[in-house]
Chain A
Amino acid sequence: MKIFPKIGICLLLAGSLNLQAQTEGIITYEETHKLDIQLGEGTSLPDDFADLMPKQFTSQKDLLFNSTEAIYVDRKDNENQDFEMESDDGSFKMVIMSDESESILYQNFAEKTEVNQQGIMSKNFLIESDITKSKWRITPEKVKFQGYECQKAELEIEGKLTVAWFTPQIPVSIGPSGYHGLPGAILMVSEDDGKREIKALEINLKSLDKDAIKRPTKGKKVTQEAFDKIVKEREIEMSNMFQGRTRTR
């Protein structure tokens, strides 16, 4: 069963209601990745280090959407969050560098396809796939967030639980980082018990320029599996470079 055409109908049926304006706009989100730094055996750590080590990595993204498409991109003014620390005998050095390559996720709900442009270091890859239906579990819990009444929904992927809060007051089935398919725009997401959290910072419902949402075309076309393999190879390379007894997830 296909959800998206049905959304289209429901919205069209509500003809006299001017919902058009509420189905276009930009939502700015902040993504926070918790850093779970595991250190190799044998490194002695003063307690202060735990205090100072960054516990998370944040970035800001924009979700531009209209009634049939959505695109999730990096914001231009992301803070440089490189971080560096070294012990006095040089035995321990930690460097966290933000990978400055761009990532764009484009979704076309009419065609039910999505294109994910991802970069590793300076090389871009295009991963195309079909939009699959998500099996959301909706609960009656409600909260108020950013002035909207939000309801809770849960999704289970590969044993990991994702919690999302959506608002029917914005009647578009869109959300950050590719999440979709709920009876309203998703304003908050929490993955795997907070490993990654996404929260809407600013909600701007307004008409967009005709070409504001463009399908990405830069990069080498690969499948998701092929891409995952390349990422793993890179990780091993990096850890060898730094004689990694340290791994960050």
Chain B
Amino acid sequence: MKIFLTFIVSLWASYCIGQYKITGSVVDQNNQALTGATVVLIETSDSTMVEFCLTNNKGEFVLNDVSKGVYAIQLSFISFESQTVNLMTDWDEKDIQLDPFILKESSEVLKEIEVKAEHIPMGLRGDTISYNASAFKTRPNATAEDLLKKLPGIEVARDGSIKAMGKDVEQVLVDGKEFFGNDPKMATKNLPAEAIDKVEVYDKQNEVEAFTGIDDGQESQTIDLKLKEDHKNGGFGGLDIARGSENTYSAKANYMRFSPKVQASFLGASNNINNETFTINDYISFMGGIGNVMSGGNLNFSDYQPLQNGINESTSIGSNLNWDINAKVDINAHYLFNEVNNDIQSNNSITNLGEGFLFDQFTTSMNMRQNNSHKLSTKIKYKINPLTHVNFKNIISFSSRNSTNDAEVNYVLMNQNVGNSLSDFISDGDEFSFAHQTTLKRKSKKKGRNWISNFRLKKVTEDIFDNVFNSNQVQGQDILIDQNQYYKNELSQIGGDINFTEPLGSNFYLSLSYAYDRSYDRPFRNFFDLESGQEILNKSLSSDYERIYKYHVAGFNLKRNRKRLKINVGTKYQWTALYGSINDGEFKTDQLFTNILPYFNTNLKTKGRGSLDFTYNTNIIAPTLQQLLPLPNNTTPNFEFIGNPELVPQYDHRLSLGYNLFDNFSLTSLFANVRYTNSNNRIVYKNSINDQLFRRSTPVNTDKYEDINTYVSLSRPFRPLKLKYRLTINYRYADYNSFLNDLESPVKESSTNLKFSLRNKNTEHVYIETGVDWSRTNQQFEIADDLGQTFSSTNFFVDSDLYLPLGFTLTSKVNFNRFSSEGFNDQPNFILWNAAIKKLLLKDKLELRLEAFDILNQNIGYRRVPTATSIREESYNNLSQYFMFGLNYRIGNNKMDSGIQLDIQ
């Protein structure tokens, strides 16, 4: 090598005759040679570089082939101060030897440059909108929900429900997979925003459509939260704990560990400040299921605020697993444990609308409830081959519930106290259920032809023990009920359906379907009167009941799917059989109903991203077992619910027209629809009161019910003030027949609701949202003009976040509520004000906060609820005026931005 080198060098040397050569060396302050130092020859006139060289291991350098000129030499070396020295020479010698250059070590800490890649905020690919999360800044410990709030086109309501492009979002997936079942809030409230790389939004396709490729015209959206690469391998999570006055606490922890084939997540939460830790589906199953049997009421979903009143402690622990075992099989399993403890003390007053006189009822009650439930759900997807898929789904759940309720009721008629009743109610029960579903899908090689079939099995057992103590002293009469009530039920349900679709030509499909379902109930009720501690069977109230509910449904459907216009026409024929027998045939009911259920839908895509939808459909609502059972249910004092075996199913006709527009250019979303319902044999409740002021309620079919519901929602930016507003108007009018103390009376109801909210768009330093929610309801009974009720409620709110320097944030939420109605003199109103101050520490991984709730101490838990025949006012023992100190800590992959950041000066 050395010979070769010398040869090359000498070749060059001879070639450069006539040119100058500059040699020198570079050393440090200790005279040590600096190897690999850069030597640059600069032309002084324009500062351009002429040539350069690096020093060798002796610190020496040679600049060859230099022409005469005016130069400077610049020397630099890592961690040393650079030097620029003017070249002083008289150009006499061809070989210019320079003195060694001495470089000084640099004490300068060099500025470090990071590279940040800015991405396009959102892109459109066909019907999928893809948002780049890094383009929308969120606070360090923000959740996915906070990120979604910033995305144009996505609206997150105050209760956490989500709308995208005006349509409801019914599912939120994480990296394409289910996360703790189907409740969107499980993902949005638990996944950290910093784990998300992209948010994709697309029209939901239920499994049938995704498999068959034929759009069903359903109008809901799915959001898929795609994770960043560094969160797809490894774990991340967080911890949030807080403790405060009045013995309050709150704790939440989650940890997720993802890898290409496995996604495992763990969630745990517990608090006694009335924050739900569970989903609405879980709530239904452990409250509604048993509850329906127990107290004879209907669960009102539009009023879903289960923990609003009283002091509630709830705990949830859960785990979710997604595992892609291989190309053909993948598994999803999740387990959830929920426990809720309620402590509700309430004061109610009920004004019953009887004929011509006002009857008041004042109740003071204390209710303690503890419910807990375990649920394990597993789903196996097996792709036998590209044309055949099979899914197995199993859900096992076990729940138990016990409660005690102590109440005292005072009856007042015409301002005179006419009686009172005391009751003590204890309940203890549990429920076990198992549900299974197998789905088999088969595509044929011919495009568009496919089979889908489902098989379902369900088994539920319930076991409840109640003790009812009820002492009534009304109008001089003394009635005492002291009973042990044992209740047992076993429900078995089996069913299946099969659907076949055949393409008939360009975009034209025919579907045939058949479904069968049979459910079998066997409830036992054994009521024992207690006399001096001895149980004596009360034959008139005890029974065993058997109910079989069966239906066959066969139908066909014609679909025409074009790009802009979709038409769907079909009919179902339903044959329903309802069989009930009490005490082994002592009383029987055997009903058979046949109904034709037509359906028509058309969807037209209008200019921009709008669509017009028109639907006509019909629906049957069969009476429940409990509505048919002609045995009194007397667990509430002075009130009896008794079923009606003569009930027939309710048959509804529905017409709806809707228009939906989202303009991503001006960020306007408009959603409007009108819905008309006409029910035949609508099931309503007939309430009557006897002289002993004992109320009885029984369901009956009424011959008239129609209502019309209109809804308009508009959301738009208001450019001049850099604000964004949203306006929603809802109007409902109903005309139906109801009962007022055994007398039939037409009723006309109208209700109007207006919601308006405003928020600022540039949320860099401050976020403010303010709005008003106003409703007015009016009810008129034709037979009793003076019983008409009009009442209105107004809710006004201001929410703000102020982002201060040094990582401090100030938040405030103010809610002003006001109720008013005719006939009620005092108009209660109250202001709820919550505020918090937060500080970020430890590179934004830790947030400390101090929160104050109900600062003005006005949380009296007041509600006013009108029904067809009464007005109820309630107030509860609510948590009021307390403070909490908390911290939030994130663990796992915490590189601030996984991209690269550059600012060139």
Contacts and interface: CB of A to CB of B under 8 A. Distances in A.
Contacts of A184: 38
Interface stretch (B74-82, B341-349, B379-387, B449-457): B74-82
A40 interface: no
B719 A168 contact: no
A48 interface: yes
Contact of A9 (B8, B40, B110): B8
Interface stretch (B62-70, B404-412, B765-773): B62-70
Contact of A183 (B38, B79, B608): B38
Given A6-B53, A12-B5, A149 B125 contact: no
A87 interface: yes
B74 A138 contact: yes
Interface string A63-107: 000000000000000001111111111101000000000000000
Contact of A87 (B1, B84, B663): B663
A218 interface: no
Contacts of A54: 120-121
B31 interface: no
Interface stretch (A121-129, A140-148, A234-242): A140-148
A43 B57 CA distance: 66
Contacts of A149: 78-79, 110
B868 to A, nearest CB: 44
A3 B51 contact: yes
A85 B110 contact: no
A165 B545 CA distance: 87
A163 interface: yes
Interface stretch (B42-50, B90-98, B565-573, B638-646): B42-50
Interface string A16-50: 11010000000000101000000000000011110
Interface string B766-798: 000000000000000000000000000000000
Nearest to B118: A56
**How many B residues touch the partner, as a band?**
35 or more
B719 A163 contact: no
B56 A17 contact: yes
Contacts of A88: 607-608, 610, 661, 663, 665-666, 668
A163 B664 CA distance: 38
B666 A48 contact: yes
Nearest to B55: A14
Interface stretch (A108-116, A194-202, A203-211): A194-202
Given A46-B719, A168-B76, A140 B110 contact: no
B124 interface: yes
B9 interface: yes
A168 B53 CA distance: 10
A181 B607 CA distance: 56
Contacts of B40: 138, 183
Contact of B115 (A87, A182, A183, A199): A199
A153 B67 CA distance: 23
A190 interface: yes
A149 B106 CA distance: 12
Contact of B42 (A51, A81, A138): A138
A82 B125 contact: yes
A87 B55 CA distance: 63
B157 interface: no
A72 to B, nearest CB: 18
Interface in B593-613: 607-608, 610
A157 interface: no
Contacts of A10: 53-54, 61-62
Contacts of B78: 149, 168-169
29 contacts: A1-B67, A5-B12, A9-B62, A13-B56, A17-B56, A52-B121, A52-B152, A54-B120, A55-B118, A56-B118, A80-B125, A81-B123, A82-B123, A84-B123, A85-B665, A87-B608, A89-B608, A138-B74, A140-B84, A145-B113, A149-B79, A168-B76, A168-B78, A182-B52, A183-B38, A183-B52, A183-B54, A188-B904, A201-B900
- In the complex, the 8 A-B pairs of residues with the closest C-beta atoms, listed nearest first: A88-B608, A183-B52, A87-B665, A168-B38, A54-B120, A135-B48, A88-B663, A140-B82
Interface of B: 1-2, 5, 8-9, 12, 35-38, 40, 42, 46-57, 61-62, 64-65, 67, 74, 76, 78-79, 82, 84, 110-113, 115, 117-125, 152, 607-608, 610, 661, 663-668, 717, 719, 722, 761, 900, 902, 904
Given A6-B51, A12-B5, A140-B76, 17 more contacts: A1-B50, A6-B64, A9-B9, A12-B9, A15-B56, A46-B717, A52-B122, A58-B118, A58-B119, A87-B665, A88-B607, A88-B610, A88-B663, A135-B46, A163-B904, A188-B902, A199-B902
Interface of A: 1, 3, 5-6, 9-17, 19, 30, 32, 46-49, 51-52, 54-56, 58, 80-90, 92, 135-138, 140, 142-145, 149, 151, 153, 163, 168-169, 171, 181-184, 188, 190, 194, 197, 199, 201
